[in-house]
Amino acid sequence: MGMKMLSAALACAACGLASAKDPVEGWLGFATGTSPDGKGRITRAEAKWQVLDAPKQGGCFYSPWFGVESSDNMNLFQPVNPWTGGGWSAYVEYFQWFPVWNENSASIEVKPGDVLHGVVTFNEAEQTYTAVHTNLNTTKSITKSIHVQKQGLFSSKYKEYTIMYVVFEKTCASCAQYPPNEKVTFYDIALEYEGKRVQPVWKTSFVDDVCDNRANVVDNSTIAITWRAH
């Protein structure tokens, strides 16, 4: 099951999938990055972060991740790093809200302390995004591509991905189920629009207020997400 399927089920029960969109229930602290002039498509996005330690208490599924999103907040392409209950993993996920569709790449093994490097690039001629998710310690990587969805059933125009998200996702019953590090830092963040690197405009927020999980802008290329693990 992908990161978003539980959120989709909750959204369906609450208000119908046709009106559901990101950010959604289950997102804790997150940062939103956009173009300084509000124009253009994302053509490249990347970030690095370190795999966290195992939690002191099990029984929960969650993930730090970054991703690129369509301007209508309905299509999300993300290198993820979930704690699956018995260990950490890394793979690439695509989720769209309408019609609902979720697909994941194969996964690679990662362990605490490993550094992950996710890179997402856009191919205009093919209208595709490709994500490469690499464990820099082992050099193992996975690659996944997706086609950009059109704006409507009878439209010839494609959606534009204009938003970068940095997120900690999924709620747990106890703060002790989160990693004892109490912080994950996404660094060396680089964001390009129409082939030109920009200094993104960052805003921070949260959906579910759990264990004081909050995103913080350290600088234009660094986002730290903190929480309580006790």
pLDDT tens digits along 173-230? 999 999 999 999 999 999 999 999 999 999 999 999 999 999 999 999 999 999 999 9
- Cα 227 to its chain centre, rounded Å, is 18
pTM: 0.93
Q: How far apart are CA 2 and CA 153, in angstroms?
A: 25
pLDDT in tens, 6-60: 455 444 444 444 568 999 999 999 999 999 999 999 999 999 999 999 999 999 9
The confidence score (pLDDT) of residue 4 equals 57
Q: Cα dist. 87→59, 111, 179 in Å?
A: 11, 8, 11
Contact 61, 169 (CB under 8 A): no
